[in-house]
Amino acid sequence: MTADASPAGTRRPIRRLDPQTIERIAAGEVVERPASVVKELLENALDAGATEVRVTVARGGIDAIRVDDDGVGIPKEELPLALERHATSKLAGPDDLDAIATLGFRGEALAAIAAVARVTLTSRTRDADAAYALEAAGGAPGPVRAAARPPGTTVEARELFFNTPARQKFLRSAAAEQVEVAATVERIHLARPDVAIVLATERGEIGRYVRALDLGDAANRVFGPEFATGSFPVSGALPGGGRLEGVLGRPALARSHSTSLFVAVNRRAVASRPIAQAVRAAFQEHLGRARFPIGVLALTLPPGRVDPNAHPTKREVRFADERALAEAIRLLVRDALLGDAPAAPPGPAGAPAPPAPRPGPTASEGRGRQRSFEGVAPPASVAPSAHHPALRLLGSIGRLYWVAERDDGALLIDQHAASERVLFDALLAHGRIGRQELLHPTVVLLSAREKAALEAHAEAVRAAGFEVAPFGGDRYRVRAVPSYLGRRLGAEALRPLLAEIADGGRPTVPDGLAERVAASIACHAAVRAGDVVSPEEFGQIVERLFARSEPAYACPHGRPIVVEVRRARLDRWFLRPTP
Ligand code: ADP
Ligand code: MG
């Protein structure tokens, strides 16, 4: 509970901070892009005890951002102070900085926003019989005037960076800024699932984050149905009197970026490298090289053990005894993961095998587990090519490793990794793979962030083989899905693809998109561990795998695909003279 908001309706007056307090504040630029404005305004609404907040953006927030709340409001006589730098109602003196209970405390955000945009602040306290408003554009506010609105506050910021063209240049496309705005709202919703947030654009509502029953409920809505069935809870005590609650996706749901692990500390959405690393360490044995766990963790710590005054945007916080905290989190997550019994069949992507039509005999199906070779029907052979000698398939171990014979020894091939690599290469080389129209188009629900990602990268999604059309509200109709070598994706693979797209796209990663799209599609369309594979399919995959001049010995996630056992080594094992 934030101090300012409890009990709702009480607040302290806004005051100018004294110089000693100002000196202790980690000053810096808080307004970099529309999403940073949305973050500051949303946090102010939460500090004011709002139960419902509406965020409206025009052109990704570049043209206008408006946040309406039903919080405690600002009295008429304090309105000009609210826009002044280092004026806040949240700190009484420097000592309050040692136990910060509100999201804001520096009294900087509104001033910083008013310095680079045209701002209108309209507010009405709960006991006032009228609302008041004032405007500021790049500097000092104008006069306070009467206005109309129910109790609460509206802040509108128009024409971001209108007076600072240099910073305008750093803005990305409206569609890309929109993705960031939606991601910010999502992050704050996961930190405060008890507050309802609506996100709208000039064209209408794009996201409705209703009050969630609990963290798991909120996480399921943000991550989608795959998460609802593929996640496990984690909870326990933290050193120094803290507590951890959370929900994490099983390893199969891991993504190629670290941005889908959400962390809240005392209900503030933060980015924490030590916590993210602790979670990853707990997953270590279950994850590929470039995979990152997804989910939400909520930490409750005594105020003295966490310092939000460490970073200008407060996105990073400092912990007392960070190592002990990280280690406690690693152990809690590891135990929860070990104690979790997955309902889905095992396999690198966890989800059930796609209902791909497979030609040819699936010979070993129903043959019983006592056979050590099953999964493919030998004999299957791959003719020699310029780059590899002839290969003959002997069988498979546990429907996971193909065993093949070559003149100079044997090869063990991971069927999922090989199939994934072949798909990944095909997609990356041609920029597109085949598509298959669905006889019965499937309707999927998309989150605001996924919608924004779809809008921002419609062409990449199409090239990947998906054909998607709006179907009203959050619903989208999938009419065609990617397909390659007789395998096709389920419509539900669209969400992870969009999440993958939305996760990246940082200005520092200009070229990652094609790889991320290819990796996501390949991972979902590939043969899975446990799948029965026909000799034809084995032949097609292995032919393509070895068609390159240097065979790819690692899958897109960095795990090995092929292990060679040379004849000479076999001879050594059996103490035979090498011929
Ligand atoms: P800070 O949040 O660090 O105090 P801001 O510049 O964001 O600084 O806001 C200045 C002050 O304006 C706040 O301390 C608060 O008293 C008041 N204020 C801002 N936004 C709201 C809001 N949505 N509802 C009520 N009061 C607000
Ligand atoms: Mg603030």
At 550-570, the pLDDT tens digits run 656 666 666 788 888 898 888
- Identify which ligand lies nearest to the alpha carbon of 14: 1
Of the pLDDT bands very low, low, confident and very high (cuts 50, 70, 90), residue 536 is: confident
Q: How far apart are CA 527 and CA 345, in angstroms?
A: 14
At residue 382, does pLDDT exceed 80? no
Spatial CB neighbours of 269, under 8 Å, sequence gap ≥ 6: 187, 188, 190, 191, 262, 263, 315
Of 244-248, 272-276, 502-506, the range with the highest mean pLDDT is 244-248
Q: Write the pLDDT tens digit of every residue in 249-260.
A: 998 888 877 888
Residue nearest to atom 2 of ligand 1 (CA): 104
Query: What is the pLDDT averaged over residues 485-507?
Result: 77
Write out the E strands in 446-577. 467-470, 475-484, 487-488, 562-566
Q: Is the CB of 88 under 6 A from ligand 1?
A: yes
Average pLDDT, integer, range 354-379? 38
The residue whose CA has the least distance to atom 19 of ligand 1 is 44
pLDDT, one tens digit per residue, over 71-127 is 999 999 999 999 998 889 998 777 888 888 889 888 889 999 999 999 999 999 999
The residues spanned by each domain of the chain are 19-209, 215-340, 362-579
Domain 362-579 has CATH 3.30.360.10: no
The rounded Å distance from CA 82 to ligand 1 centre is 6
* Beta carbon of 112 within 6 Å of any ligand 1 atom: no
On the 0-12 / 13-18 / 19+ scale of CB atoms within 10 A, 147 is: middle
Closest ligand by atom to 25 CA: 1
Best mutation site among 41, 89, 311 for ligand 1, i.e. most ligand atoms within 8 A of its Cβ? 89
pLDDT in tens, 123-157: 999 999 999 999 999 878 999 999 999 999 999 99
SS3 322: helix
The tokens describing 18, both together, are: 């004294």
Ligand 1 centroid to Cα of residue 449, in Å, is 27
pLDDT digits (tens, 9 = 90+) for 185-222: 999 999 999 999 999 998 889 989 999 888 999 999 88
Find the 109 Cα to ligand 2 centroid distance in Å: 5
Q: Find out whether the beta carbon of 49 lies less than 6 Å from any atom of ligand 1.
A: no
Model confidence, pTM: 0.77
Residue closest by Cα to atom 1 of ligand 1: 107
Q: Binning pLDDT at 50, 70 and 90, where does residue 370 land?
A: very low
Burial class (CB in 10 A: 0-12, 13-18, 19+), 575: exposed
In the predicted model, what is the mean pLDDT of the chain? Answer: 84
Atom of ligand 1 nearest to the CA of 11: 16
> In this structure, which topology does domain 215-340 adopt according to CATH?
Ribosomal Protein S5; domain 2 (3.30.230)
The closest residue, in CA terms, to atom 7 on ligand 1 is 109
Ligand nearest to the CA of 100: 1
Question: Does the C-beta of 72 come closer than 6 Å to ligand 1?
Answer: yes
- The residue to which tokens 């997953």 are assigned: 283
Would the CATH topology of 19-209 be identical to that of 215-340? no
- CA–centroid distance, 100 to ligand 1, in Å, is 15
Reading across the β-sheet that carries 391-397, which strands appear in turn? 380-382, 391-397, 401-406, 409-414, 562-566
Listed ranges 49-53, 459-463, 548-552; the one with the highest mean pLDDT: 49-53
CATH topology assigned to domain 19-209:
Heat Shock Protein 90 (3.30.565)
- Cα(107) to ligand 1 centroid in Å equals 7
91 touches ligand 1 (CB under 6 Å): no
pLDDT exceeds cutoff 90 at 334: yes
Cα 326 to ligand 2 centroid, rounded to whole Å: 29
